[in-house]
Amino acid sequence: MDAQIIAELVEIVGADNVLTAPTDMITHSYDATQKCYMPDVVVYAEKTDEVARVVRLANRLKISVLPRGAGSGFSGGSLPVQGGIVLVLTRMTKILDIDSDNLTAEVEPGVITAELQRQVEKLGLFYPPDPASKEFSTLGGNVAECAGGPRCVKYGVTKDYVLGLEVVTPTGDIIHTGGKTLKNVVGYDLTKLFVGSEGTLGIVTKIILKLLPKPAAKKTMLVQFETIEGAAKSVAAIIGAKIIPATLEFMDGATIDCIRPTSPIPLPEACQAILIIEVDGDAAMLDPQIARIQDIIKSFGILSVRIAASHEESEEIWQVRRNVSPSLRRVNPDKFNEDIVVPRSKVPDMIRTLEKISTDYGVPIVNFGHAGDGNIHVNIMVDLRHHGMAEKVERVLDEVFQAVIALRGSISGEHGIGTAKAKYLGMELDATTISYMQRIKDAFDPNHILNPGKIFSYNSNHLPVKTGNN
Amino acid sequence: MNKNKNLQDFAGVIGECVKCGVCQAHCPTYQLSRREGAVARGKIALAAALLEGGTSLEERLQEDINMCLMCGSCVSKCPNKVPTHEIVGAIRRQITDNEGLSLIGKGVSTLLGSKALMNGLIKGGALLSPMLLKKVPESSGLRLRFPAPGMQDRTVPKIAFRNLFDRLPEFIEGRPDKPVVGFFAGCSITYAYPEIGEHMVSILNRLGFSVYLPKAQRCCGIPALSSGNGKLVTELAEKNVAAFKGRDVQHILTACGSCNGGIGEHYRTMKANFESFTAKVIDFSVFLRDTGLFEDLAGMEKWPERTRVTYHDPCHLKIQGITREPRLLLKALPNVEFVEMADASVCCGLGGTFSVQHYQASKAIGAKKAHGLQESGASMIATACPGCIMQLQDIINHAGMQVKAVHLLELLAAALSPRRS
Ligand SMILES: Cc1cc2nc3c(=O)[nH]c(=O)nc-3n(C[C@H](O)[C@H](O)[C@H](O)COP(=O)(O)OP(=O)(O)OC[C@H]3O[C@@H](n4cnc5c(N)ncnc54)[C@H](O)[C@@H]3O)c2cc1C
Ligand code: SF4
Ligand code: SF4
């Protein structure tokens, strides 16, 4: 990159925060999709004003800017597909305020999700969104992707907790949306527009979040089923009975095969599906709720029910769930990891369709995820060294997504579009809707400098990743 | 011949990194700087680029590779168990092979060679006294760990006038019906904390074991490993393996987490047949648990005034999963009231020779422990590694706290001694 530009960047953020060596480009070229694109320069910003000045410089010279948090994204959102300035926000780590009277928190974008959770929980408060990556993802990244997690079935996703934002726009202006109040109808709701915009409309530099009182207690149970139908029907029956557990996670038979060898809890061969159900609230309410759930699901082919009596036992149950992603590689070396979502009553239909696609194509598909909100992690496990496998996967994915759309679901519940799913955008959204979205992008970012090539690009390959995580 | 693995040998495991970023949550150097070059994932990307010829050992790469404690905290939480600490070791050796002991090794030898520099440091109280340092072999990790500029305010251990080998014979006979066990003492215990070694031997002896303490044993090689001196690691490994051939021992005990990681874990990864040696290496806490000692201790009458003690996990034990045994011991001790502290398993920041090169970073990483320690209300922090004891005491002193860092064996010895304090 031009020495003059580097000098200007150094002037803004200081020499320590401008990285130009070739190896610095290597260490900022990837995210959890495992794709690699080299940036031209890496800048670490520590203040809103620095972010704004970097963006203004980029806008003037028409250089791309890629906001980057922890780089844990599953859709390639932070990748510099067209080179440019990777602008890292991980050093903006201040929790500016936790307000127990108004149940709000104000944070900088580099704060780690779980760190905020720990701090508010010390005060008896609660920030519910819990992506599996919460120990390392940034809140800025969570806002940009509208991250969700197991607890979202009861508590909603990131967008349900964002009250207000400070944003640096693609032209380098600093704007403020929403505020500290739950109610606010002044002007357009730009807050909602920025949440989930994948860093294409602006760079979030401050976030005002809504908090809840921390639930007094929780109780976890693990139920083993003879069939996946039994588990799917149980989910529908629980929700149908107007009970919303805090989490309602499921695993299918293929998943259980992967975790059986390392599971801390014995999983017999007959076990073909698992539900992990957690309820929370007043301690006195929990036992009756668990009993009711047991009653509702008892006719669906249950092999065993384990109710955690202590924190350790509950951790043991969650360990079963956490073992899933790393153990998938037992099936096949290459993984295509989708996070589809269908209306929750349609989970049994979707599972059946996935099983059919798997048999039709002779390709293992491992499914697990957040049954309670219809969000299924679909993992197509293949060995790409086999001739023609890549094309086969293309067809499998097409069928999966078509089935999702037919059930009025969505092709991504949590991970976003980025580059990984851009080519499927048209399957879910009609052309007119997409063009309105693009006009919003044009209005905010006339020079297309902010995170270009994301969401709307159709030329990226849908490549696999090595197995290991979800 | 150099018997360490080289980077090429790690090609397979490097390919196992799925770039998930999980290591960010566990890497002390990343948490300090929040920069991708500091975290395991970044280092693995650099290792992959080196293998593919996408980069050479340029300066910035060396900076990133040096920013690692080799603590293995990332490894235990990595879904694919990518051994970043070993891979970093291999790159450091490659750097040394290409450019000589440029980084830390050279720094140490120029320092040791310069009287003026040495005297300046001694006045600042930062350095091991040179007179006594003479008693420590050239190849000892203790030399690599401490004498460096920029550490003026560091708390350093005193070198004992009579080291462990001066104090004890090579063979200490026990009961005839009990086996012989070897004791690998390591530099810190031998030269700085010989009394810990004496406790170890007398406890083993009391349990009936004969103890073999071969005087030919040397430094385990962890500091050499950390500074990229592969030749020295090989030399030390061969000498240590040979040293224990003198007698048929059932086990080789360590009372130092780093030594255990060195002569156990690292030798196992070397391209040599050390299997019959490494298979015998065992941490003292695991060994003592197996003897049934903990039950006996638990059966003892509790002391009326017990010391509130918390525990710090040495990295080299933590990554082998040895976290329960030390706690079981503390819970069983009649003289101890055990309390858990927050961040017990967070690295103390010493990291082989890391603290010499990056004393400020090392201090900042260590300082994170002070908070949990304070909150625990403990008046002592016990651990199972003398390196950690030095670093923890430094952290405590800098935080102005009234806590003493001790070895588990000191508490155990007190419990077994007839005099109650
Ligand atoms: C093991 C693992 C488990 C995961 N589990 C879940 C899960 O359960 N639920 C879930 O929803 N996701 C999950 N994810 C995906 C990922 O963690 C989330 O998308 C997360 O929100 C990304 O945060 P990040 O800080 O890593 O952002 P990055 O990956 O760095 O960036 C993601 C996107 O956000 C943009 N961005 C980052 N910071 C800002 C900012 N301050 N302003 C504007 N744009 C910004 C980037 O440009 C990019 O487009 C998981 C990922 C991994 C690796
Ligand atoms: S946790 Fe392991 S696999 Fe994941 S990025 Fe770190 S080193 Fe790679
Ligand atoms: S060994 Fe320790 S310091 Fe090095 S990358 Fe892993 S966690 Fe970080």
Domain with CATH 1.10.1060.10 in chain B: 7-100
Residue with the smallest CA separation from ligand 3 atom 6 is B74
In contact, A300 and A234? CB cutoff 8 Å: yes
Least confident range of A134-148, A404-418, B304-318, B356-370: B356-370
Query: What does the pLDDT look like over B65-120, one tens digit per residue?
Result: 999 999 999 998 898 899 999 999 999 999 888 876 654 454 443 333 333 443 44
Cβ A468–B55 below 8 Å, yes or no? no
Nearest to B390 by CA among B87, B156, B101, B46: B156
Contact between A371 and A232 under an 8 Å Cβ cutoff? The reply is yes
Q: pTM of the predicted model, to two decimals?
A: 0.90
- Cβ contact (<8 Å) for B34 and A91? yes
Pair type for strands A203-210 and A162-168: antiparallel
Tell me if A164 sits within 8 A of A191, measured CB to CB: yes
A118 and A154 inside one domain: yes
Sign of CA dihedral B130, B133, B138, B139: negative
User: pLDDT tens for residues B114-128?
Assistant: 334 434 433 333 344
Ligand 2 mean position to B30 CA, how many Å?
A: 13
Confidence at residue A413, expressed as pLDDT on a 0 to 100 scale: 94
| Contact with chain A for residue B194, Cβ under 8 A | no
- What average pLDDT does range B164-169 have in this prediction? 93
The confidence band for B133, taking pLDDT boundaries of 50, 70 and 90, is low
Tell me, yes or no, if A76 comes closer than 8 A to chain B by beta carbon.
no
Q: Which residues pair with A104 in a beta bridge?
A: A99, A210
Ranges of H-type helices in A298-332: 311-322, 324-327
Report the CATH fold assignment for B164-290. Rossmann fold (3.40.50)
Q: Is residue A202 pLDDT above 80, yes or no? A: yes
A200 and A73 in contact (C-beta within 8 Å)? no
| A167-181, A318-332, B201-215, range with the lowest pLDDT | A318-332
Q: Do A311 and A353 lie in a common domain?
A: no
Q: Is residue A434 part of a domain?
A: no
A191 and A127 in a common domain: yes
Q: Residues A103, A200: one domain?
A: yes
Whether A170 contacts A180, CB under 8 Å: no
Which of A381, A406, A431 lies at the terminal end of a domain, its last residue? A406
Q: Are residues A225 and A207 in the same domain?
A: no
Residue A455, both tokens: 């969401």
Residue A396, in any domain of the structure: yes
Mean pLDDT, residues A431-447: 95
pLDDT at B145: 55
A318 CB-contact burial (10 Å; exposed 0-12 / middle 13-18 / buried 19+): middle
Among B170, B412, B174, residue whose Cα is nearest residue B293: B412
CATH code for B7-100?
1.10.1060.10
Residues of chain B by 3-state class (helix, strand, coil), percent to 5: 55, 10, 40
Atom 50, ligand 1: residue with shortest CA distance: A133
pLDDT of A292-330, one tens digit each?
999 999 999 999 999 999 988 998 899 888 888 778 877
Helix or strand run (H / E) with residue A126: strand A125-126
Q: Ligand 1 mean position to B368 CA, how many Å?
A: 27
Based on the domain organization, do A242 and A298 belong to the same domain? yes
- Quick check: B201 and B183 in contact, CB under 8 A? yes
User: Is the minimum CB–CB distance between A262 and chain B shorter than 8 Å?
Assistant: no
Residue B223: φ, ψ to 5°: -65, -35
Q: Enter the tokens of residue A20.
A: 């130009």
- A299 with A350, same domain? no
Q: How buried is A200 (Cβ within 10 angstroms: 0-12 exposed, 13-18 middle, 19+ buried)?
A: buried
Q: Which of A142-156, A256-270, A295-309 is predicted least confidently?
A: A256-270
The pLDDT value given to residue B152: 52
Q: Which parts of A18-158 fold into alpha helices (H)?
A: 22-26, 48-61, 113-122, 139-145, 152-155
In Å, what is the CA distance from A288 to each residue of A242, A283, A381, A413? 14, 10, 41, 32
CATH of the domain at A242: 3.30.70.2190
Which residue is closest in CA terms to ligand 1's atom 2?
A133
The CA–CA distances, whole Å, from A464 to A75, A340, A412 equal: 12, 16, 16
Q: Which residues of B touch A90 (CB under 8 A)?
A: 34-35
Within a domain: residue A127? yes
Of A39-43, A182-186, A456-460, B4-8, the one with minimum mean pLDDT is: A456-460
* Predicted confidence (pLDDT) at residue B147 exceeds the cutoff of 60: no
Chain A closest CA to B80's CA: distance in Å? 7
Is the minimum CB–CB distance between B59 and chain A shorter than 8 Å? yes
- CATH code at position A178: 3.30.465.10
Provide the pLDDT for residue B151: 52
B317-356 confidence digits (pLDDT tens): 998 999 999 999 999 999 999 999 999 999 998 877 787 7
Are A202 and A304 within one domain? no
In chain B, residues under CATH classification 3.40.50 are: 164-290, 294-416
> Within 10 Å of residue A329's Cβ, how many Cβ atoms?
20
| Dihedrals phi, psi of B68, to nearest 5 degrees | -155, 130
The verdict on A400 and A384 lying in the same domain is: yes
Which ligand 1 atom is at minimum distance from the Cα of A148? 11
The domain of A265 spans 217-326
Q: Answer with the one of A391, A406, A421 that is the final residue of a domain.
A: A406
Report how far residue A367's alpha carbon sits from residue A351's, in angstroms, rounded to the nearest whole number: 8
Whether residue A225 sits in one domain with residue A123: no
Q: Which pLDDT value is given to residue B223? A: 84
Please, what is the average pLDDT of chain A?
A: 93
Share of chain A above pLDDT 90, in %: 85
| Boundary-marking domain end, from A298, A326, A354 | A326
**A460 band by pLDDT with thresholds 50, 70 and 90:** very low
pLDDT band for B251, please (50, 70, 90 cuts). Answer: very high
Q: Using the predicted structure, report yes or no on whether residue B132 has a pLDDT greater than 90.
A: no
What is the distance between the alpha carbons of residues B32 and B361, in angstroms, rounded to a whole number?
8
pLDDT of residue A154: 95
Confidence grade of residue A458 (pLDDT, cut at 50, 70, 90): very low
Do residues B218 and B236 make contact, with C-beta atoms less than 8 angstroms apart?
A: yes
Residue from the list B18, B45, B46 with its beta carbon closest to the beta carbon of A468: B18
Ligand nearest to the CA of A68: 1
Give the position of tokens 């349609």. A346
> For A223-239, what is each residue's pLDDT tens digit?
999 999 999 899 989 99
pLDDT number for residue A281? 94
> Do A337 and A301 fall within a single domain?
no
* Within-domain flag for A228: yes
pLDDT tens-digit readout, A336-350 = 889 999 998 898 899
Provide the percentage of residues in chain A whose pLDDT is more than 70.
Answer: 97
**Is the confidence at residue B312, as pLDDT, over 60?**
yes
Together in a domain, A251 and A173? no
Into how many domains does chain A fold?
3
Quote the pLDDT of residue B158: 67
CATH number of B294-416: 3.40.50
Is residue A117, in this structure, part of any structural domain at all? Answer: yes
Check pLDDT > 50 for residue B43: yes
Is the predicted pLDDT of residue A58 greater than 60, yes or no?
yes
Q: Give the model's confidence band at A86: pLDDT under 50 very low, under 70 low, under 90 confident, else very high.
A: very high
Residue A423 lies in a domain: no
Range in A133-137, A284-288, A353-357, A465-469 the model is least confident about? A465-469
